[in-house]
Amino acid sequence: MATSTLPERAPAPAPALPLQQRHVGDRVFRLLLTLAAVAVPVLLAFLVLELWLGSRAAIERFGFDFVTSSTWDPVAERFGALPLVVGTLVSSFLALLIAVPLSLGVAIFLTEFAPGWLRQPVAFLIELLAAIPSVVYGLWGIFVLVPFLLRWVFPVLQDWLGFLPFFQGTIYGPSMFSASVILAIMVMPYVMSVSREVLLAVPPSQREAALALGATRWEAVMTAVVPYARSGIVGAVILGLGRALGETMAVTMLIGNRHDISASLFAPGYTMAAAIANEFAEAVADIHLAALSYVALLLFLVTVVVNALARLLIWRVARGVEGGRGA
């Protein structure tokens, strides 16, 4: 801090405390703050440790086969998480497939084309979506979204794209597709607001140069603004992926909860988070609990990697503009 450049003893009004005691105050203050700051990494380390201890029995028994086997039979005490892993990946990717074009469109519109008075209110409204609790999305999904999809969307998709294996077979209401749609709505505000921040960080000279060369407004955006912000936008998408992977309640309520891998997106599936949510409170066997903890540990590790990657990409773009603020 800049304080080190200041004289140790200020000549102004007599300090209330002698210098010696002031140092004591400083030390106590710093000690208290340090304790809190140390507590944060310690807590996280503790979380990893507890998850590992909780899942040790399952790790020892199933090892890495856990993620390649697809039998999930609590009675026979055989556990394989492949359907959960696949379900998590499929629902998240499908959600991003829907959410990313929309969020990028909104972000581009708000930073490049919207009139000034419209920008803040619209951004605020979309971020409001992020404030709605997951369980409320689930409720709305069960009673409004799923009936709507069943009536208007799924049959049409099957008619048009029925030649693809993803859209064949019996149509279920609670299904991989329903869960992905609700996930898309939930992830959208995150992708939107981060890509908006990244686009705002693109220097104006960038678009002015393109416009001066005779580009139309859209061409300026696509040739000068978006490429400049590319890695930040990728970061925003990956951040959205991190959110989608760990999202629990709404997915649990809409995905149908079946330990099964099926090609059809209209069939019920399962995700890692949903399996934990559904089975943890009811699991009685120790090995069942350990298997679920193992799933939690894997989910945690995946989200850490995904989030770290996203931060790195976003930080690279932001750094270019803000000149490396912070440490």
Partner 1 sequence: MNRRIWRRTRSGLMVGLVGLAVVLALVPLGLILGHLLVKGAGSLDWAFFTRGPAPTGVEGGGVVHAIVGTLIIVGVASLMGLPVGIAAGIYCAEYPGTRLATATRFVADVMNGTPSIVVGVFAWTWIVAPQKHFSAFAGSVALAFLMVPMVLRTTEEMIKLVPHSLREAALALGYPRWRTSLAVVVRTTLPGIVTGSLLAVARIAGETAPLLFTALGSQFLSTRIDQPMAALPLVVFNYAIGPFEEWHRLAWATALVLILVVLVLSVAARIATRGRFTLRG
Q: Which of residues 244-303 bind partner 1 (CB under 8 A)?
A: 245-249, 253, 273, 276-277, 280-281, 292-293, 296, 299-300, 303
Using CB under 8 A, which of the segments 20-28, 76-84, 157-165, 227-235 binds partner 1?
A: 20-28
Question: CB-wise, 93 or 113, nearer to partner 1?
Answer: 113
Ranges within 36-55 binding partner 1 (CB under 8 A): 36-41, 43-44, 46-47, 50-51, 53-54
**Of 235, 234, 230, nearest in space to 310 by CA:** 235
Number of residues binding to partner 1, judged by CB under 8 A: 105
**Of 183, 288, 177, nearest in space to 241 by CA:** 183
Task: Output b/e per residue, 89-112; b: 16+ Cβ within 10 A.
Answer: bbbbebbbebbbeebbebbbebbb
Give me the phi and psi of 134, to 5 degrees please.
Answer: -55, -40
Supply the minimum distance, in Å, between the C-beta of residue 49 and partner 1: 10
Q: Token digits for 40?
A: 């944060």
20 touching partner 1, by CB under 8 A: no
106 touching partner 1, by CB under 8 A: yes
Ranges within 201-220 binding partner 1 (CB under 8 A): 216-219
Give me the phi and psi of 172, to 5 degrees please.
Answer: -110, 150
**Of 45, 46, 50, 44, nearest in space to 290 by CA:** 50
Q: Which of 164, 285, 304, 321 binds partner 1 (CB under 8 A)?
A: 304
142 touching partner 1, by CB under 8 A: yes
Ranges within 166-185 binding partner 1 (CB under 8 A): 185
Distance CA 175, CA 264 (A): 9
